[in-house]
Amino acid sequence: MRILLLGTLCTLLLGCIDAPNVKLNEKNQGLVYCAEANPMTFNPQVTTTGSTIDLIANQLYDRLISIDPDTAEFKPELAESWGVSDDGTTITFYLRKGVQFHHTDYFTPSREMTADDVVFSFDRLFNVYNPYHFVGDATYPYFQSVGLDQLIQEIIKVDDYTVQFKLFNAESSFLSNLATDFAVITSKEYADILAAAENKSQFDNKPIGTGPYKYKQYLRDNLVRYHKNETYWKHPVAMSQLVFDITTNNTSRIAKMLTKECDVTAHPSASQLAVLSKRADITVDKAENLNIGYWAFNTEKEPFDNSLVRKALAHSVDFNKILQAVFYGNGQVAKSYLPPASWAFSEQESMPTYNPTLARKYLDMAGYEDGFEMTIWAMPVSRIYNPNARKMAELIQSDLKQIGVTAKIVEYEWNTFIERIGKHEHDSVLLGWVADTPDPDNFFSPLLSCTATFSDKNPANWCNPEFDLLLTKALDTTDIEERKAFYAQAQAMIIDQLPLVPIAHGMRFQASSKEVKGIDLKPFGGISLANARKQ
């Protein structure tokens, strides 16, 4: 009776609900993107977390230059053109005129973007006297880990639309570092107003940029709302609203795709792709991507400071089985640290293979005949390089049992997880890296250099001066063949020392409803929704 009653009530309600034009009218047309995590900040300068960069970098901001994903050449963005001096130490950018910062309810710009803004944006990163340098702990992980703070001597405003970077020495990856998602241009005028109001912390939370969308609202665990930037310099923006629906659960994201609550979803997991591709109204895009999923050891902690132990662990795990179970055939087994699509890739003969007997032997040699206990930190979100870290951790756990090592799996909410990994609280961690530029240095310096250790970004906590020297040598030259040789040595060194075990390179997937167009998957960097439209 009651259910009958309920049923009738529902039908009655639906009678008026299911009117044909439930769709939002033209004025409110917007796009809902289901994202996998809360943004940690709204300023890409202060983070390297991919899930955050996806949400903010290309949506709210622009950079001086970018890299064309097809040709790998530099493209003008906020800088119309640029020139490099013969010795490579002076780089001059000629800025675009008529670029407007966002007009929002909390800030109205009185002038266009000028050289002052560019100088301010970079000055904040490197100059300790900049009033904003110490806002938010003064960590600029990307720039510090690639050593830009050691490289830039001076940033000079030549005139309102010309900026000059003076470097201590020429470095081959300088321009590509400026083209990453992190090197955004922020507004000096906005910064000055906030500084005058003693409210500097707002700068990274209520963003002002020049990008296609402007900030409107952020509700933690719920949504991020952007409105379109009517004065966007590049092209008119089709979507009047862009909403990120924060859905941490993989299955929920897929379900929301099916119920049309999401227009686009990030990182659908490989096991569920079949469900999505059955539907006629959903497209699943697949693209090659420069990334690496790895298992990193905290090399400063016992017993992982012993490379024999690391070798034993690497040989004890059957990564082929993992690849099947976690990537469902959509990942490539790592044959080196760099993905094969990178120009500096060199295949490593001595990649560790599954061999429990050998693993036991290494453990005996290291003096751990009886095994030991350790933690495996599994990230709670699905990323390209590791769609299901929890499952992977469980498989590793069962493999480790065979050589007498007891592993405990540790999980935290994503942002807490990253923070704790930064403090090196882990024994070992399943993590990965998606390239921000096609330059191979992007895989090395931000992750495995000594400076990365100091800026809390090195998950292996591994600082090897010899390795750093190789990286520096590779950056000091512009000769491609020479660089290749150095990076080949660096890759060999990683496989020899095993601060981390490279596991796999994933494919980038994206599910979107058929009517959504204009979202291209790039092989590197964060997603851009500037051209998104519905048809």
Point out which residues bind another protein (CB under 8 A): 1-3, 5-6, 10, 13-14, 16-19, 22, 24-25, 28, 30, 32, 216-217, 219-223, 225, 241, 243, 245, 247, 252, 255-256, 258-261, 412-413, 415-416
> What's the closest the beta carbon of residue 58 comes to another protein, in angstroms?
20
36 or 62: CB nearest another protein: 36
Contact 437, 180 (CB under 8 A): yes
Give least dist CB 255 to another protein, A.
6
| Shortest distance, position 137 Cβ to another protein, whole Å | 9
10: enclosing H helix or E strand: helix 2-17
The position carrying tokens 């095993």 is 498
Count of alpha carbons within 13 angstroms of residue 271, beta-carbon side: 11
| Residue 231 CB neighbours (<10 A) | 16
Smallest separation, CB 208 to another protein (Å):
20
Nearer to another protein, 28 or 350 (CB): 28
Closer Cβ to another protein, 14 or 158, answer by number: 14
Query: CB 44 → another protein: shortest distance, Å?
Result: 19
Q: Are 468 and 449 in contact (CB under 8 A)?
A: yes
| C-beta of 1 vs 128, nearer to another protein | 1
How far apart are alpha carbons 105 and 524 in whole angstroms? 34
Preceding omega of 109 cis (within 30 degrees of 0): no
Residue number, 216 or 390, with CB nearest to another protein? 216
Minimum CB separation of residue 513 from another protein in Å reads 13
Q: Are 529 and 519 in contact (CB under 8 A)?
A: yes
Cβ neighbours of residue 299 closer than 8 Å, sequence gap 6 or more: 305, 310, 460, 461, 462, 499
d(CA 316, CA 310): 10
Which CB atom, from 13 or from 469, has the smaller least distance to another protein? 13
Smallest distance, another protein to C-beta of residue 403, A: 31
Q: Tokens representing 34?
A: 């289901």
Nearest distance from residue 250's CB to another protein, in Å? 14
**What is the three-class DSSP state of 210?**
coil
Longest dimension (CA), the chain: 86
Strand, helix or coil for residue 164:
strand
- Which residues pair with residue 500 across a beta bridge? 296
Nearer to another protein by Cβ, of 324 and 416: the residue is 416
Q: How far is the CB of 476 from another protein (least distance, A)?
A: 37
Q: Which is nearer to another protein, 225 or 484 (CB)?
A: 225
Cβ at position 382, least distance to another protein in Å: 17
CB 178 within 8 A of CB 65: yes
Closer residue to another protein, CB minimum distance, 18 or 349: 18
**Phi, psi at residue 130, to the nearest 5°?**
-65, 130
Closest CA to 434 of 487, 504, 370, 484: 504
Q: Taking the CA atoms of the chain, what radius of gyration do you get in angstroms?
A: 24
Which of 19/128 has CB closer to another protein? 19
Torsion angle, alpha carbons of 214, 215, 216, 221, to 10: 140
Angle between helices 356-366 and 307-316 (to 10 degrees): 160
